[in-house]
Structure 1
């Protein structure tokens, strides 16, 4: 996604398009590795030398609140971020610590009649195929 496409998307949804928000969202779209705020900060610091952690956290919170990204709480130490907001699951390898996406065909639940479900999370952990060899 280009910066112009992101800016247009933000404008369509009446979301303030700051250079930092655009760059963070573009980075997350181009790097589906589920980075945490610290990793994003290190990458963005090159482009924005005066950038603060607070700006990163505020931008990530705003992007999540507006539905552009999701936070992944699969790691007890830190929150990871994903620009893929479609229904999918995450697998964290206990050995290499990488987080992988996997497709979900359907989630059927019982006992939620009358509930307003707004978000679904599916997490698995164990050993990835490479570490399992």
Structure 2
């Protein structure tokens, strides 16, 4: 497994959120997802990270992510499998390396709406929630 870190942080701190993104041949969709995370972040989200687990993509997914890292406001770590292991294993590996208090699992082909992160933060800060799930509405 290869680790490619986007930014170096000098002090280690617990992140509030870790976005875990398994991807396989996601070169055409991963940028839109990362840009949507970037646009959805706000003053609440100075302390979060994104963990991308590339499941042995045969396209240029990793290169595409490396090229956009400098344009984003958050840390990205990339872990790459040497063989295809599937999305469940990729999620588990991402969770293992994530440092956030809360894990948010996103597929590589989704996009967050502008207030998604704010809504998640508000929900978690007001309620005693252990887990939640969401759906994507194609018709919106």
The normalised TM-score by structure 1 is: 0.31
State the structure with bigger RCO (CA 8 A, min sep 6), 1 or 2. 2
The normalised TM-score by structure 2 is: 0.30
Q: Which has the larger radius of gyration?
A: 1
The structure carrying a bigger strand percent of its residues is: 2
